[in-house]
Chain A
Amino acid sequence: GDSVTQMEGPVTLSEEAFLTINCTYTATGYPSLFWYVQYPGEGLQLLLKATKADDKGSNKGFEATYRKETTSFHLEKGSVQVSDSAVYFCALSDRQGAQKLVFGQGTRLTINP
Chain B
Amino acid sequence: DAGVIQSPRHEVTEMGQEVTLRCKPISGHNSLFWYRQTMMRGLELLIYFNNNVPIDDSGMPEDRFSAKMPNASFSTLKIQPSEPRDSAVYFCASRPDQGSGNTIYFGEGSWLTVV
A89 cross-chain contacts in B, Cβ below 8 A = 43
Q: How many residues of chain A are within 8 Å of chain B by beta carbon? A: 22
CB within 8 A of A42: which of B31, B93, B95, B108? Answer: B108
Instruction: Say yes or no for A99: interface residue by CB 8 A criterion.
Output: yes
Query: What are the residues of chain B within 8 A of A42 when measuring CB–CB?
Result: 108-109
Tally of chain B residues near chain A (CB < 8 A): 20
B55 surroundings in chain A (CB, below 8 A): 98
Main secondary structure of the interface of B (DSSP, over half): strand
CB pair A99–B102 under 8 Å, yes or no, is yes
How far does the Cβ of A31 sit from chain B's closest Cβ, in whole Å? 9
B104: nearest residue on chain A (CB-CB)?
A101
List B residues at the A interface (Cβ < 8 Å): 31, 33, 42-43, 45, 48, 55-56, 91, 93, 95, 101-109
Residues of chain A touching chain B, judged by Cβ–Cβ distance below 8 Å, are: 32, 34, 36, 42-46, 49, 51, 89, 93, 95, 98-106
